Amino acid sequence: MTTLVEQEKIQQQFKERMNEDELLNCMRCGFCLPTCPTYIESGYKESHSPRGRIAMMKAVVDGIVEPDEDFERSLDLCLGCRACEPVCPSGVNYGHLLEEARDIINQNKKHSLPVRAVRKTVFEGLFPHQNRMRTMVGLLGFYQRSGIQTLARKTGYLGLLPDNLATMEKVLPKVPTMKDMKNRPEHLPAIAEKVHKVAFFSGCLMDTMFMKTNDATMKLLQLAGCEVVIPKQQTCCGALHGHSGEKNAAKELAKKNIAAFEDLGADFIITNAGGCGAFLVDYDHLLKDDPVWKERAEVFKSKIKDISEILVAVSFHKKVKLELPAQVITYQDSCHLRNVMKTASAPRILLESIKGVRFVEMKEADRCCGSAGIYNIVESEMSMVMLDYKMVQAKATHATTIVTANPGCLLQMQLGVEREGLSDKMRAVHIVDLLAEAVK
């Protein structure tokens, strides 16, 4: 519940903080509607479309409506996939409007005690601290290896969890040991003739739960002729904070990362998670009110490149022989990689160059799978509707391997495979893991 006093405060801040030019930029042509998953899945409800949401934000600023429960509900249900942005004739930065609106609502709303406790733990206590991330993921490893997992599954204790969480538990990767997670490289030489010096943004979740994928990424970079530096001072990108209305925390993380990467003399900063990459390239907007930091952010931003982009740029796929046993593969775009980082063709070029596999494009591969950060947990109903639709399209390709480019999408697609009961016939992998497999 939002109280009337809270609503008034929210309305006031909307007037003060929302970018009026950006709101006016929306000319209401409706070209965004067909790209919006929540508009379509809600049965064409304008209130669940980008045009509708922008109209609501503007109406709150103009004092025509109050930021009531319905308004909040509409913003909550938005995936933040930003599929509306590339098709917008006026180039409205919807993502920026959404983040600002969510931040205002969150900062002015008194959450219930348990919600506050969870938010504090996750946003302040966990993600910004890589050592705690390791401990957390380490506990998961203990759970997986100690036999508790088997016990929990057998006793039906997991039945107490909501359906998709229980399934999610099954698809989590086998996590590395604490020792391995602590012992991370800081510098790796190029294996082929050196063409670039790059820095690797290792990410918080990627460097713990998905450590294997990070290792594969660095290996591919080395093979592609890149000297790789991995600065220890880097931290979580802050995307989770930014998308959840914790902008100040996100700003602090952004500053740490900019500082960590700026004196390395690297040509590029490489990411392997579309969600992180998209947030990193937006640092200049995040820090726009701080001229000094904005400038530093612009330099940082100009160096961000997804792993698939650099591999294609240095012709990795032409220089290194890639081969796999015969199989059909398909690719699910990471929304943020595609819509914000504008990387769509590079992953496809790489996949099509693997000998032995047949790449089949999935219908609406550019539509969100419903993962969207923590959306699949907090808005699980809508998320599962979208996942089911996605699996229909995936199955229609007859692919046995679904390739993704972001950890959230990867888990969601694995969840989809599990839900369909196809885990013996179909798998979901991160693109770098598949490429690493193809190198061997």
Partner 1 sequence: MLSNEVKQKLISIVSEKNYDDSKIERLVYSYDATPNFQSMPDAVVSPRNAEEVSQILKICNQYGVPIVPRGSGTNLCAGTCPTEGGIVLLFKHMNKILEIDEENLTITVQPGVITLDMIQAIEEKGLFYPPDPSSMKISTIGGNINENSGGLRGLKYGVTRDYVIGLEAVLSNGDIIRTGGKLAKDVAGYDLTRLFVGSEGTLGVITEATLKLIPMPETRKTMLALYQDLSAAARSVSKIIANKIIPTTLEFLDQATLKVVEDYAQIGLPTDVQAVLLIEQDGPPEVVERDINKIAEVCKLENAVSIQIAATEEEAMALRTARRAALSAVARLAPTTILEDATVPRSEIANMVKAINEITEKYQLTICTFGHAGDGNLHPTCATDARNHEEMERVEKAFAEIFDKAIELGGTITGEHGVGAMKAPYLEWKLKKEGIAAMMGIKQAFDPNNIMNPGKVFAKDSKKRVVITK
Residues in contact with partner 1 by CB under 8 A are 21, 24-25, 27-31, 33-34, 43-47, 49, 52, 55-56, 59, 64-66, 68, 70-71, 74, 89-91
| Minimum CB distance to partner 1, residue 233 (Å) | 38
| Minimum CB distance to partner 1, residue 38 (Å) | 13
| Minimum CB distance to partner 1, residue 56 (Å) | 6
| Minimum CB distance to partner 1, residue 33 (Å) | 5
Residue 4: HSE in the Cβ half-sphere, 13 Å Cα cutoff: 0
| Minimum CB distance to partner 1, residue 22 (Å) | 9
21 versus 381: smaller Cβ distance to partner 1: 21
Neighbours of 405 (CB within 10 A): 29
10 versus 199: smaller Cβ distance to partner 1: 10
| Minimum CB distance to partner 1, residue 96 (Å) | 15
105 versus 226: smaller Cβ distance to partner 1: 105
24 versus 151: smaller Cβ distance to partner 1: 24
| Minimum CB distance to partner 1, residue 425 (Å) | 29
364 versus 420: smaller Cβ distance to partner 1: 364
Distance CA 375, CA 244 (A): 10
49 versus 343: smaller Cβ distance to partner 1: 49
| CA-atom Rg of the chain in angstroms | 22
Q: State the residue for tokens 């059909």.
A: 328
| Minimum CB distance to partner 1, residue 395 (Å) | 20
21 versus 424: smaller Cβ distance to partner 1: 21
21 versus 186: smaller Cβ distance to partner 1: 21
| Minimum CB distance to partner 1, residue 243 (Å) | 22
Distance CA 87, CA 32 (A): 6
Distance CA 129, CA 113 (A): 23
40 versus 188: smaller Cβ distance to partner 1: 40
Please, is 230 exposed, middle or buried when counting C-beta atoms within 10 Å of its C-beta (0-12, 13-18, 19+)?
buried
